[in-house]
């Protein structure tokens, strides 16, 4: 069965500083990997996804993530954050069927002025 771990429940960071949000997964088969962002009082939006190919994936709003198969990780990074990046970030995996994505518990990113 799939599972997703996001070790950091909250990450405070100052504006213009770099940030890394960690995600580890477990699965017995190959998976597709995703990062979604949820702004206050809104649904989730896709930031980026890894399907195959290059392990470095670039997404919207300057975010990128790197797939590391040996470490079963898919960490999200941004070199310089803005106040507007304050939100909750969810890592998710999906095996090759259906729409039952498995989401991690989320990491609340707070960008401080």
Partner 1 sequence: KAGVTQTPRYLIKTRGQQVTLSCSPISGHRSVSWYQQTPGQGLQFLFEYFSETQRNKGNFPGRFSGRQFSNSRSEMNVSTLELGDSALYLCASSKARGVGHEKLFFGSGTQLSVL
Query: Residues interacting with partner 1, by CB under 8 A?
Result: 31-32, 36, 41-46, 49, 51, 90, 94-106
Q: How far is CA 9 from CA 24, 92, 112, in A?
A: 13, 15, 17
Which one, 54 or 113, has the nearer CB to partner 1?
54
15 versus 101: smaller Cβ distance to partner 1: 101
54/29 Cα distance (integer angstroms)? 19
Cβ–Cβ < 8 Å for 92, 101: yes
Cα gap 2→69, rounded to integer Å? 15
CB of 3 to partner 1, least distance (A): 12
Closest contact distance (angstroms) between CB of 82 and partner 1 is 22
Task: Closer to partner 1 by CB, 98 or 113: give it.
Answer: 98
Phi, psi of 15 (to 5 degrees): -55, 140
Q: How far is the CB of 18 from partner 1 (least distance, A)?
A: 26
């Amino acid at each position: 069965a799939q599972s997703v771990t996001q070790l950091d429940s909250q990450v405070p960071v100052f504006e213009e500083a770099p940030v890394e949000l960690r995600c580890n997964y477990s699965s017995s088969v190959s998976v597709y990997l995703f990062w979604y962002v949820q702004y206050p009082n809104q649904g989730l939006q896709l930031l980026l996804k890894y399907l195959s190919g290059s392990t470095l994936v670039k997404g919207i709003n300057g975010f990128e993530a790197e797939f590391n198969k040996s470490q079963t990780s898919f960490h999200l990074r941004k070199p310089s954050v803005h106040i507007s990046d304050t939100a909750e970030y969810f890592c998710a995996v999906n095996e090759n069927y259906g729409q039952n994505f498995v989401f991690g518990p989320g990491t609340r990113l707070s960008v401080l002025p």
